[in-house]
A = this chain, B = another copy of it.
């Protein structure tokens, strides 16, 4: 086994997993390292955050996914650093040597230097993040009902989503949907349909990376669902219970952060000069300059297309990059044996991204889609979104369950996973018992941090 060339893959997201699967067919020794023991199907994270799906339905154990590939081993552990000269990956209690290294550590949310906002405005990148958002959203309705039932002044339910990209749009849309439907008839003292959902976007329009007509359509569909969109609005401060846009202070029961993305801090440990978003500049073959045996793919890579345009941080890019790098390594090893010595990256072919189009969901039967020149909105776009995502969901079992869930909720408007677990503290919610506040605040903060890479 050890005589074979050893490929170490850091991260089992879309990029790393597809690299591992492709190499699983080759006669190499593969080691996949991830902080988690499971792959998260990130496009459906917002469904966990809005109680539509359970974590187990959008995540699958990495070793189950790769079980059939006997030459692939999976290690759960946090990568602490690299020694590019000795060709070693460091994890807390061991050093893993490699002949080839593929780094696909992904991205996390960025608060643009306002990390102090995080406890009051959680982002959505991990299962833990999703559970924390779900906890806060559901808890807000429960506390409001309790307060109203006790004859106390009913606090208005204001949900603020910061960031009008795909994540912000689907969060806002789905929050509107559940407040108008799933929760509508289950409360006695409050009317969830009166929940106010505000989507704040710094740019001139929502879904800025999409064509203008689709942005317009998305805004119309959001309004149709009951979401207020405020564009060209910059958030200047976030505190428990409040969001500031310049001088105006908006009361906010729950604030969600979908505004910024930053590449994994692992990028900086490569010694390369990362860009502003922390992404690692790579060559045309996705290798690290000066290190043909090291590849960076997915959201962590600053890869450009033929026109020099930066490739977007979306799943299809990561998937294609993972397969490309894996095939490249497979070929190279077959030609020259394990060591890539003498193979300058210049001799390699360049990665080419095949853009199949982009899809953004907004809510129940609402979405926008672009396939080349074709732009679609509404139900048809939503159907294609649904089809594509259930199709690509890892693991047949999950696919079946998710489909049943979806069919069920579509008919009944029900949300299957409306559980409030963990603490019962809501930042800035005065009605919650002061006694429990302190400890549970610490708990919440810890929960959030435990969900984001240090």
Contacts and interface: CB of A to CB of B under 8 A. Distances in A.
A189 interface: yes
A421 B127 contact: yes
Interface in A275-324: none
B420 A38 contact: yes
A44 to B, nearest CB: 14
Interface string A400-425: 11001100100010101111111110
Contact of A422 (B67, B77, B450): B450
Contact of A127 (B59, B76, B185, B419): B419
A33 to B, nearest CB: 9
Interface residues of A, number: 76
Nearest to A126: B421
Copies in the complex: 2
B419 A93 contact: no
Interface in A118-160: 127-128, 131, 138-139, 142-143, 145-147, 149-152
A421 B150 CA distance: 36
B150 A432 contact: no
Interface in A422-442: 422-424, 431-433, 435-436, 439-440, 442
Interface string A202-230: 00000000000000000000000000000
Contact of A408 (B37, B397, B440, B442): B397
Contacts of A186: 61, 63-64, 67, 74
A150 B33 CA distance: 12
Contacts of A145: 73-76
Interface stretch (A50-58, A98-106, A253-261, A357-365): A50-58
A188 interface: yes
A142 B37 contact: yes
Contacts of A146: 75-77, 91, 93-94
A37 B443 contact: no
A38 B419 contact: yes
A78 interface: yes
A187 interface: yes
B421 A142 contact: no
A36 interface: yes
A336 interface: no
A237 interface: no
